[in-house]
């Protein structure tokens, strides 16, 4: 017992030293704007860390996940026009199916699905899946946008947001600009968070092993020990597995790689054991989720639009936490059945493929800017400009370099020098 207390004190001391440089950001008040993206977040195109000043969600068993999901989409339907960002994928299909079912049951106006179509980008084509869902639901009214270069990462829509709000995450937030214009005065509903929620639900090895010790394996025992250890110990254990892939981030300097590794390990070590705690305590404070919601709200504010993300709404997170506080769910299919079982075609419920809109982001102005870029505007202590340029000029540039592209463009505008977010 004495050794355990001494060990805990030692690791806590290490953690306190680490945390003084860690991405546990604090805003001035709950609900306040998040700190801007830091240089390393821009260099990796990924926000990290927790905002400890934001409140956790209370424990609540007031509703089932299905009821909470339906209540959330109902709130969107009641503030119409209700436009749904609809790709034909599982997440957006689930949201649309729930909304259509609620609207018909309660005499509300049907939601309007909105789809983006890029004729020249084959991997973005989802017409077959979209039509399957819409025919099944009996929805005939929809918004369709046929686009070419309009959604470029430095196109007019993107530049408008960059000028107004700085570099945003996700870097493709502007894709919803055309939809927001047609939802003016109403509500935009997205499927954001569905992938992450399903992944967090299925990756609960430790909790499942504790719930069923008869099935223990050496790997599960190691997982239990890891997640049951103090955060400082987990941080050290996670460091070797947190280094950024040199293929994905070849532009990072030695200092940049060290910062990215530190932030990734800190994020990993902060994830609590038990799905309920993840949903109530971790997700509501995560910059990854909160930055995405803030960016969408910023975009929507330009068009007087309210944005709803049912998968990561507080009532849905609370309902899932109460439904399965420890072991989570057995994957995406189980989550879909809980939320919209019986409302979608079986093919959609078990679908695993996903469309990609990435090529639409490198489709005009971005290529031109990359060719003419003078190499300035980035933090050269953590990125190597010549490697960044080489990445942008590839036939298929990596998406992880898009925030750097937008920062470089923003810095090239005389009114917008390089800005530092939190350290």
Tokens describing residue 261: 């590794």
- pLDDT at site 417: 53
Q: In Å, what is the CA distance from 85 to each residue of 46, 71, 187?
A: 23, 18, 11
Pairwise CA distance, residues 124 & 173, whole Å: 17
What Rg value do the Cα atoms of the chain yield, rounded? 22
- Of 80, 83, 92, 96, residue with least CA distance to 139: 96
Mean pLDDT on 143-157: 92
308 Cβ neighbours under 8 A, 6+ residues apart: 72, 73, 75, 76, 187, 188, 189, 190
Order the strands of the 143-146 sheet from edge to edge.
Answer: 143-146, 112-117, 82-85, 187-189, 306-308
Torsion over CA of 172, 243, 253 and 152, rounded to 10 degrees?
Answer: -10
DSSP secondary structure of 60-115: --SS-HHHHHHHHHHHHHTSSSEEEE--SSHHHHHHHHHHHHHHHHHTPPPPEEEE
State residue 205's pLDDT score.
56
Q: Which of 235, 339, 242 lies closest to 12, judged by CA?
A: 235
The more confidently predicted of residues 149 and 357 is 149
pLDDT of residue 202: 65
Q: Which of 51, 17, 59 is CA-nearest to residue 34?
A: 51
27: preceding bond cis by omega (within 30 degrees): no
Question: On the CB side of 408, how many CA atoms lie within 13 Å of its CA?
Answer: 28
Cα–Cα distance, 341 to 349 (Å, whole number) = 8
Q: Which ranges of 115-155 would DSSP assign to H, the alpha helix?
A: 127-137
pLDDT in tens, 106-145: 999 999 999 998 887 777 678 999 999 999 999 999 999 9
Q: Rounded to an integer, what distance in angstroms lies between the CA atom of residue 359 and that of residue 396?
A: 8
Rounded Cα–Cα distance for residues 167 and 171 (Å):
8
* Residue 7 clears pLDDT 50, i.e. is over it: no
CATH class for domain 65-197+288-349? alpha beta
Model's pTM, two decimal places?
Answer: 0.88
φ/ψ of residue 170, rounded to 5: -70, 155
pLDDT in tens, 316-359: 999 999 998 887 887 889 999 999 999 999 999 988 887 777 88
pLDDT score at 253: 97
Domain range summary for the chain, segments of one domain joined by +: 65-197+288-349, 213-272, 364-412
43, pLDDT greater than 60: yes
The helix or strand, by DSSP H or E, that contains position 22, with its residue range, turns out to be: none
Instruction: Pull the structure tokens for residue 238.
Output: 């996670």
Whole-number Cα distances in Å, 208 to 61, 202, 212, 220, 276: 21, 10, 6, 9, 13
- Given this model, what pLDDT does residue 207 score? 61
Helices 365-372, 385-392: crossing angle, 10 deg rounding:
140
Look at residue 146 and give its three-state secondary structure.
strand
The mean pLDDT of the chain is 88
Taking CA 130 as the corner, what is the angle to CA 180 and CA 320, rounded to the nearest 5 degrees? 75
Specify whether the CB–CB gap between 207 and 327 falls below 8 A: yes
């Amino acid at each position: 017992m004495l050794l355990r207390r001494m060990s805990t004190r030692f690791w806590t001391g290490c953690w306190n030293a680490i945390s003084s440089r860690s991405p546990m950001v604090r805003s001035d008040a709950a609900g306040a704007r998040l700190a801007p993206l830091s240089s390393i977040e821009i260099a990796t195109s990924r926000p990290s860390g927790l905002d400890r000043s934001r409140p956790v969600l209370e424990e609540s068993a007031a509703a089932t996940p299905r009821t909470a999901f339906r209540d959330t989409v109902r709130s969107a339907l009641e503030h119409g026009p209700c436009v749904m960002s609809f790709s034909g994928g599982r997440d957006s299909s689930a949201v649309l199916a729930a909304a259509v079912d609620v609207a018909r049951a309660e005499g509300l106006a049907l939601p309007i699905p909105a789809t983006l179509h890029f004729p020249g980008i084959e991997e973005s084509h989802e017409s077959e899946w979209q039509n399957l869902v819409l025919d099944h639901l009996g929805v005939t009214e929809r918004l369709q946008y046929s686009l070419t270069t309009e959604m470029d990462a430095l196109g007019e829509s993107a530049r408008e947001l960059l000028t107004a709000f700085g570099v945003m995450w996700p870097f493709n937030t502007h894709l919803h600009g055309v939809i927001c214009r047609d939802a003016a005065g109403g509500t935009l509903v997205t499927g954001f968070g569905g992938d992450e929620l399903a992944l967090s639900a299925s990756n609960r090895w430790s909790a499942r092993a504790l719930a069923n010790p008869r099935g223990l394996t050496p790997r599960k025992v190691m997982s239990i020990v890891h997640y049951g250890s103090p955060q400082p110990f987990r941080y050290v254990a996670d460091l070797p597995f947190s280094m950024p892939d040199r293929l994905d981030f070849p532009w990072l300097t030695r200092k940049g790689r060290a910062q990215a590794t530190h932030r990734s390990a800190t994020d990993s070590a902060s994830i609590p054991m038990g799905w309920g705690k993840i949903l109530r305590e971790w997700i509501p404070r995560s910059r990854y989720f909160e930055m995405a919601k803030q960016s969408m709200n910023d975009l929507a504010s330009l068009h007087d639009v309210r944005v709803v993300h049912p998968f990561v709404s507080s009532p849905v997170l609370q309902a899932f936490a109460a439904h399965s506080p420890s072991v989570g769910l057995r994957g995406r299919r189980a989550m879909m059945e809980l939320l919209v079982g019986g409302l979608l075609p079986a093919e959609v419920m078990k679908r695993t493929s996903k469309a990609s809109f990435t090529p639409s982001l490198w489709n005009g102005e971005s290529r031109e800017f990359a060719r003419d870029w003078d190499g300035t505007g980035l933090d050269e202590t953590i990125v190597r400009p010549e490697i960044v340029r080489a990445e942008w000029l590839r036939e298929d540039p990596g998406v992880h370099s898009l925030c750097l592209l937008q920062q470089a463009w923003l810095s090239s505008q005389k009114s917008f020098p390089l800005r530092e977010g939190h350290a």
